[in-house]
Amino acid sequence: MARATSRTRIAVSTAAAWIVGLAIFFPILWMVLASFKTELDAFAIPPKFLFFDWTLENYGVVQKRSDYVLHAYNSIVIAGGATLIALLIAIPAAWAMAFAPTKRTRGTLLWMLSTKMMPPVGVLVPMYLFFRDVGLLDTRAGLIGVLCLGNLPIVIWMLFTYFKEVPKDILEAARMDGATLAKELIFVLAPMSVPGIASTLLLNFILAWNEAFWTLNLSSADAAPLTVFIASYSSPEGLFWAKLSAASTLAIAPILVLGWLSQRQLVRGLTFGAVK
Amino acid sequence: MKASLGAFIAATALCATSVAYADTTLTIATVNNGDMVRMQGLTDDFTSKNPGITVKWVTLEENVLRQRVTTDIATKGGQFDILTIGTYEVPIWAKKGWLVPLDKLGSDYDVDDLMPKIRAALSVNGTLFAAPFYAESSMVMYRKDLIAKAGLTMPDSPTWDFIANAARKMTDKSAEVYGICLRGKAGWGENMAFLTAMSNSFGARWFDEKWQPQFNSPEWKKTLEFYVSLMKDAGPPGASSNGFNENLALFDAGKCGMWIDATVAASFVTNPKDSKVADQVGFALAPNTGLGKNANWLWAWSLAVPAGSQKVDAAEKFVSWATSKAYLALVASKEGWANVPPGTRTSLYQNADYLKAAPFAKMTLDSINSADPDHPTVKPVPYVGVQYAAIPEFQGIGTAVGQQFSAALSGDKSIDDALAAAQTATEREMERAGYYKK
């Protein structure tokens, strides 16, 4: 009897999980479907779900009109560069805060987070002037710098919480065995925090990939990533939903694949320390 | 070895300088509208005629583009050599000295062929600061079959009373057919473009001669009451979130009897690839109330050269190419006369081939000619602009007022409350900006 109950329970919770999962995924699915529709089908009322004339025309138009490869390359370089540099800065910083705290550590952590509380548009003009004067407008290096600094507080916070879970004693033991600080970081702390570092890396890569304020405002032609690519297909006067969907599908494809491949790491990292 | 290395470096450096001298790259910021996309596709024609000049396009959604180019030009960032801007920006930016006067567009440019109203809207003190790429007004698009069913005939220049009566008669809510679809989504370029143009035909104005906001006037009250009650009786559900695209989708799907919006929509609703009702669409001038002003706006997407550009000569060449008569002929030869960018040149409307290919041509011309940015409404005003007032503060104020009127349409606010809130918000902003003291 108990077995039957638990089976029903499993069935119910599986069904519930599927429903929630599908509900969350539905907008993306709808976008992908719309990218294979004609413009007329894309806004048909009632909406057409699967039975429409499938077409690749939109992808052809998008390919012809804009340089997807250049935008995708820029996205990879900018998001990847920003994430890696942020990690290089954040790992030592988080180590210091987790294992050698001072009385100001808490305050510093809060202060760092507070920089994320201001809407970025508030500093757009000063940033723009600065970028203009140092010649960083429309350069990948400039965008890497901005996104790296923008995400740094989150990277440090995430790593800090993961490092807090690592027992201090292990690091102390390494030190007793004569490990230098660099060795302690590279050979002891880093391997133990791989899930944490991996999920931090992935999450920040996604954040940098999707960042649309600075990338739109500080780039024009040469350094423009995929966010600019999508923005070029949105129009207040004209229904180009199918083409916009095709552009969006192309823009999220690389990150979707990356997320799919690393979902195990991601889930492990995000729940790291939750269950002991 | 050393010598050859030195020679190699010197040769490379020389090469680099000569290339840098011969090659000019123009970066052009533009919007994602059909005519602009077509222009991008035809860039080869320009580059083949002007060797040494290459063109890079930055296409953005209208509001993103506006923010992007405003930041760049205000800080003299120099990211763009050519900007796509509208009639709203041109007078403001030209007065600030941000734009290069376009007086060297070439001997064969024929500047006098530009439509006089459009040319005036893009000039300050008689000097042209932006060249019109395509221009639009607004007009009534209606379903011939539905109006016949209602037993009515659409006049060329209908009154608002006729429109309201026809809309109510065409409405069949059980069949999801609504007599009229109008903009309701809040925004200075959304519902306020329509409502400002509509209010002009009711004799209302944004400001009096002393810059005092006029939302407490009976004309505005009449405008808003007429609009809200018409939309309640004959509009689609959820109209307060409908903008151009939503109404276009409704009209194309056969759910609207009439739609009053940009003339550029004519080519969409008559295209059988996009529209279910393509063969049933008729056009009429935007409505009036007999006061001498029709409810239509005037807008021209135009190309301008920012004062910070280092490549003014090449940029002017491009502007001249893209807005010339030869460009119109080029589009016609490649994509047919119906796809030519409308509304900028008088000669286009004397071209028999164009008039034959574009059934909406005459109505577009009449609509553009009946809008007057210097005298938009019945009473005198201190500002320029039909569906906007060309002052820097308008974007903010227009959107704030648009939110009030959108709330009145959805029924969240009474008409009187919405008008009072609009008046207070506008007074506060204008006073803060120093237009007058209390």
Is B343 in the same domain as B398? Answer: no
Nearest CA in chain B to A123: B71
Instruction: Give B262 to chain A, closest Cα distance, Å.
Output: 9
Q: Residue A270's pLDDT is what?
A: 66
Calpha distance B389→B381 (Å, rounded):
9
pLDDT classification of B301: cutoffs 50, 70, 90: very high
Which among A48, A234, A237 is the top mutation candidate for probing chain B, defined by the most B β-carbons within 10 Å of its own β-carbon? A237
For residues B157 and B249, state if they share a domain. yes
Instruction: Provide the mean pLDDT of chain B.
Output: 90
In a domain, residue B243? The reply is: yes
Return the residue of B nearest to A62 by Cα: B37
pLDDT at A50 exceeding the cut of 90: no
CB spacing of A221 vs B37 below 8 angstroms: no
CATH number reported for the structural domain that contains residue B280 in this entry: 3.40.190.10
Residue B328 domain flag: yes
| Any domain includes B438 | no
State pLDDT tens for residues B247-296: 998 999 899 999 999 988 888 898 888 788 999 999 999 999 999 999 99
Question: Does the ipTM exceed 0.85?
Answer: no
Q: Which residue has the tokens 């600075």?
A: A214
Please indicate, yes or no, whether residues B206 and B321 belong to a single structural domain of this protein: no
For B409, residues 6+ apart whose C-beta sits below 8 A from its C-beta are: B184, B191, B227, B228, B231, B239, B240
Tell me the per-residue pLDDT of A62-80, one tens digit each, with 9 for 90 and over. 888 888 999 999 999 999 9
Q: Are B79 and A220 within 8 A, CB to CB? A: yes
Report the predicted TM-score, pTM, of the whole model to 2 decimal places.
0.85
- The chain B residue lying nearest A230, using CA atoms, is B60
Is B405 found in the same domain as B269?
yes
Q: Is the domain of B272 the same as that of B389?
A: yes
Q: Give the range of the structural domain holding residue B186, as residue numbers without chain letter.
A: 137-297+374-432
Q: Does residue B8 carry a pLDDT above 70?
A: no
With cut-offs at 50, 70 and 90, classify the pLDDT of residue B18.
very low
* B219 and B92 co-located in one domain: no
Rounded distance between C-alpha atoms, residue B323 and residue B35, angstroms: 12
Q: Determine, yes or no, domain membership for B362.
A: no
Same domain, B304 and B276: no
Write the CA distances from A268 to A163, A252, B406, integer angstroms. 15, 23, 47
Q: Measured between alpha carbons, how far is A203 from B313 in angstroms, rounded to an integer?
A: 47
Q: Which of B31, B58, B253 sits opposite A220 (nearest CB)?
A: B58
Is residue B230, in this structure, part of any structural domain at all? yes
Q: At what angle do helices B191-201 and B218-234 cross, to 10 degrees?
A: 120
Write down all domains in chain A, each with its CATH number in brackets: 66-232 (1.10.3720.10)
Q: How many domains does chain B have?
A: 2
Range list of β-strands (E), A8-72: none
- Whether residues B52 and B165 share a domain: the answer is no
Q: Do residues B228 and B121 share a domain?
A: no
pLDDT digits (tens, 9 = 90+) for B211-245: 999 999 999 999 999 999 999 999 999 999 999 98
Placement of tokens 């649309």 in the chain: A212
* B284 is a domain residue: yes
Question: Same domain, yes or no, for B149 and B262?
Answer: yes
Give A218→chain B minimum CA distance, Å: 9
Query: Does residue B68 sit in the same domain as residue B110?
Result: yes
Q: Give yes or no for a contact between B100 and B307, defined as CB atoms under 8 angstroms apart.
A: yes
Residue B26: strand pairing partners:
B55
Asked if B246 and B123 sit in the same domain, the reply is no
B365 falls within a domain? no
Assess if residue B154 is contained within a domain.
Answer: yes
Cβ–Cβ below 8 Å for A132 and B262: no
Q: What are phi and psi of B88, to 5 degrees?
A: -70, -45
